[in-house]
Structure 1
């Protein structure tokens, strides 16, 4: 049986995952509007992945007979300065999500909830990958600076995701 505290924290994470999807949709829309079609593709796929992450939490709560709360969401920021700005903000957001996942693991330990702890290990590993992906893109964008050819080459590569 899942504890009330754990259930509350998992529902808060569902909201955070959907907020992530909305943030990445806003980034995709900005990128598309500014003709960064590769980045737009990357971010649309990132948004879809975040929705899938949210649904994994929903499915888990169903599996443990928990209560699922459907969150309300705020409109995300929609204006960005550059591709570097987008990916730096994306990296910071992924670090925030990592901290939330780590907190969930701590709560599961404190609650003696071994099943939830096991479930969360997939997210612990996933966040290493998420941060690495954004960090690598930030490094590449910083390397090319304001060189249009370099930016467009990175954008084109992001479209292959």
Structure 2
């Protein structure tokens, strides 16, 4: 595997684990605010991000590459309004999309089509992640100022359940 592609893939493990930490901090904020449904949503997001890290780890191991785990930065966001974590999530997902695009570009440049194919799932996933984050912002703007509507939205997010991402489920 090309050294640059390897380094970007290995770094992505750390970035995905940071995403899990970040979303855990969002869950903590909503838990403190009494919005346990929103907290549930972000606990599941944190689990998904951890799983994304494992998918990258497995890919490196399947390609006989050494995994080098790095320190995970502490999330530094603080919030004073319910919409702020949602906006931070959309911003973060756009950042993750740029990281995936950078890895894809580097792999394509060296004709590493196996890695390009591997990244196709993440490209689709990022489209979904950004669309969902954008939808959550829209819904908060529409319903967040009405206590009953906010309660119903919180109940909807409380019903979300965890699903193992397909690349990880298929590896088992």
Question: TM-score, normalization: structure 1?
Answer: 0.95
Q: Distance in 2 between matches of 1:80 and 1:147?
A: 20
Alignment of structure 1 residues 59-98 onto 2, 5 Å: 59-77=58-76, 79-98=78-97
Unaligned runs of 5+ in 2: 161-172
8 Å Cα contact 1:37-1:155 kept in structure 2: yes
8 Å Cα contact 1:26-1:77 kept in structure 2: no
Where does residue 130 of structure 2 map in the other structure? 131
Q: Distance in 2 between matches of 1:97 and 1:145?
A: 27
Alignment of structure 1 residues 96-111 onto 2, 5 Å: 96-111=95-110
SS at match of 1:5: helix
* Deviates most, 40-49 or 73-82: 73-82
Where does residue 141 of structure 2 map in the other structure? 142
Where does residue 170 of structure 2 map in the other structure? none
Unaligned runs of 5+ in 1: none
Q: Distance in 2 between matches of 1:23 and 1:52?
A: 14
Where does residue 15 of structure 2 map in the other structure? 16
Question: TM-score, normalization: structure 2?
Answer: 0.90
SS at match of 1:15: helix
Q: Give me the CA root mean square deviation.
A: 1.1
